[in-house]
Amino acid sequence: MAIPNETTKVTIAQKKNNEWMKKVLPPIIAFVAFVTLWQVIVTLIGIPHYILPKPTDIFDAAVKNWSNLSSALMTTIVESVLGFVFSVIGGIGVAVLMASSKWVERSFYPYAIILQTIPVVAIAPIIVIWFGSGMNAIVIIAFTIGFFPMLSNTLIGLNATEHNMKNLFYLYNASRWQVMWKLRFPAALPYIIAGAKISCTLAVVGAIVGEYIAGVGGGAGGLGYAITVAASRLQTPYLFALGLSAAVLGITFFLIVSYISKLFLGSWHESEMESE
């Protein structure tokens, strides 16, 4: 077996750096070009800042209102993370129960679909009536909107286990729970990660929607509440800053889950393995 020399190691490192640059540079160049065109076009046309602010106006508004923006962002982060964690735990737990019994799946899965089809803005007021305004209701709304993707993807993964492998486990007299935790659950991990990638961004959406309806003012308000206040005062540059902050938050959550996916699946699943 040949041992890689220093030249080979340097070549591999350079290849990885080149691949990383190919992935990172195009979106950065596109972003810089878009922002530059936005700045130039709005300046030349002379559009008022309360209609369409320039990127520099948005940056200035974010700096001037940084105290309120950072406080609102931290509140939304806490609500989104809690809603996402509960949706992961609840979605996986319910999916395992459904996958363990076809009777349970046939009995309750249609109601999970019905819950998903109801618009969150329709059930949010009911949740506020039951749990009161504030963080409790917002977390429950974020959980509700992120629950179904976790349930659906996990259930699909658990039911997609190869029959030959299940027959092999049964041949060795494995119990149903051994088959579940040692075969079906590991095989469903790519589906679970896929559901988490969807659920993490929906949790941010659910938290902001919840803040529109159940948010509280003062220092406890999140991005949704801050957006409502900024819109009522026609603070358009600050409104753009809040919207972009919400987008960055969702992207950050997605990248974190993608990194976790790389850790769990990078060594064995083709979706995360590096191509030669």
Which has more confidence, 134 or 73?
Answer: 73
| pLDDT given at position 6 | 60
Cβ neighbours of 161 (radius 10 Å): 19
Give residue for tokens 């931290």.
74
Report d(CA 232, CA 242) in Å as an integer: 14
Look at 19-28, 131-140, 246-255 and tell me which has the smallest mean pLDDT: 19-28
Tell me the DSSP string of the chain.
Answer: -PPP-HHHHHHHHHHHHHHHHHHHHHHHHHHHHHHHHHHHHHHHHT--TTTS--HHHHHHHHHHTHHHHHHHHHHHHHHHHHHHHHHHHHHHHHHHHHHH-HHHHHHHHHHHHHHHHS-HHHHHHHHHHHH-SSHHHHHHHHHHHHHHHHHHHHHHHHHTS-HHHHHHHHHTT--HHHHIIIIIHHHHHHHHHHHHHHHHHHHHHHHHHHHHHH---GGG--HHHHHHHHHHTT-HHHHHHHHHHHHHHHHHHHHHHHHHHHHHHTTT-TTTSPP-
Distance of alpha carbon 151 from alpha carbon 206, whole angstroms: 17
Place of tokens 């130039």: 40
pLDDT digit string, tens, across residues 133-192: 888 899 999 999 999 999 999 999 999 988 888 888 888 888 888 999 999 999 999 999
For domain 65-265, the question of CATH label 1.10.3720.10 is answered with yes
The pTM assigned to this predicted structure is: 0.87
Per-residue pLDDT at 241 exceeds 90:
yes
List of residues 6+ apart from 58 with CB closer than 8 A: 237, 240, 241, 244
- The answer on pLDDT for 5 being more than 80 is no
Q: What is the mean pLDDT of the chain?
A: 87
Evaluate whether 222 touches 207 at the Cβ level (below 8 Å): yes
Q: How far, in Å, CA of 46 to CA of 59, rounded?
A: 18
Domain ranges in the chain? 8-43, 65-265
Structure-token match 């959980």, residue found: 143
| pLDDT tops 80 at residue 274 | no
CA distance 218 to 59: 23
pLDDT for the residue numbered 12: 59
